[in-house]
Amino acid sequence: MKNLQLIVLPVAGMLLLSSCASYSVSKVSTSQFRSTMGLDPQDVAETASMMSQSMLAANVLKAKGSEGRSVIVISTFRNNTALYDFDPNVIFNPIRVTLNKSGVAYCYVTNDAYVSGNRAAVSHENSVRDFLGEGGHLSSGPSPQYSITLELIEQAGYIGNTTQKSYQIHMTLNKIGSGLAIWEDIKDVGKVGHRAAIGF
């Protein structure tokens, strides 16, 4: 028994050391993050950026603000998929970055506490002035001339033991003053997988 213990303990120690030595972490590009099925954030970001560039190339942003750029707000996002925990900023952020870097448009801020607080304070002050019959409304900044609405749609199909999924991104640019959709585009992100392997 003692001889067995003398053999087992060193072997266990060697296995422990080898397992520690073989573990390593390496830095990779986020472009390598791809899932077997489902909607990859990198795919969405690339598609949203491409659609924004296509919108800019269409040269439809004619109305300009005081600084010579169009002002755009992302107003509506509809998630018509089973991905209930999908973060819409995966789509919003590439659009904002592309438009702001273009020098053609500014994106209207909707999720900053300080900006929202300032708008609320200005709105309250203007309400007080209206109540007192005073003129001279304060401005909380330029109003947007355009809004963007986005929709994420999921479609699935099965051929034998193969699952095919299509995630569709629908982007529409609306002119606020007229209520017209002056530009829109649809892009697909397709996925194919073996049903047995992915649990469908």
Say what the pLDDT of residue 138 is.
64
Residue 60 lies inside a defined structural domain of this protein: yes
For residue 31, pLDDT over 50 is answered with no
How many other C-beta atoms are found inside a 10 Å radius of the C-beta of residue 141?
A: 15
Say what the pLDDT of residue 55 is.
95
Number of folded domains that form the chain: 1
Residue 12 lies inside a defined structural domain of this protein: no
Q: How far is it, in rounded angstroms, from Cα 15 to Cα 149?
A: 57
Residue 98 lies inside a defined structural domain of this protein: yes
Per-residue pLDDT, averaged over 1-16, amounts to 49
Mean pLDDT of the chain: 76
Say what the pLDDT of residue 115 is.
59
For residue 84, pLDDT over 90 is answered with no
Say what the pLDDT of residue 121 is.
75
H or E element that contains 76: strand 70-80
CATH of the domain at 96: 3.40.50
CA distances (Å), origin 40, targets 4, 54, 190 = 52, 21, 10
Say what the pLDDT of residue 34 is.
45
Say what the pLDDT of residue 124 is.
72
Per-residue pLDDT, averaged over 2-8, amounts to 48
Q: Is the alpha carbon torsion for 90, 112, 58, 79 positive or negative?
A: positive
For residue 35, pLDDT over 60 is answered with no
For residue 59, pLDDT over 50 is answered with yes
Residues 144-200 pLDDT 10s: 899 999 999 988 766 767 667 778 999 999 999 898 999 999 998 765 555 555 444
Residue 125 lies inside a defined structural domain of this protein: no
Q: Which domain holds residue 51?
A: 37-108+144-198
Residue 31 lies inside a defined structural domain of this protein: no
Residue 117 lies inside a defined structural domain of this protein: no
Specify whether the CB–CB gap between 185 and 171 falls below 8 A.
yes
Residue 116 lies inside a defined structural domain of this protein: no
Say what the pLDDT of residue 130 is.
72
Say what the pLDDT of residue 175 is.
95
DSSP string computed for 163-185 = EEEEEEEEEEEEETTTTEEEEEE
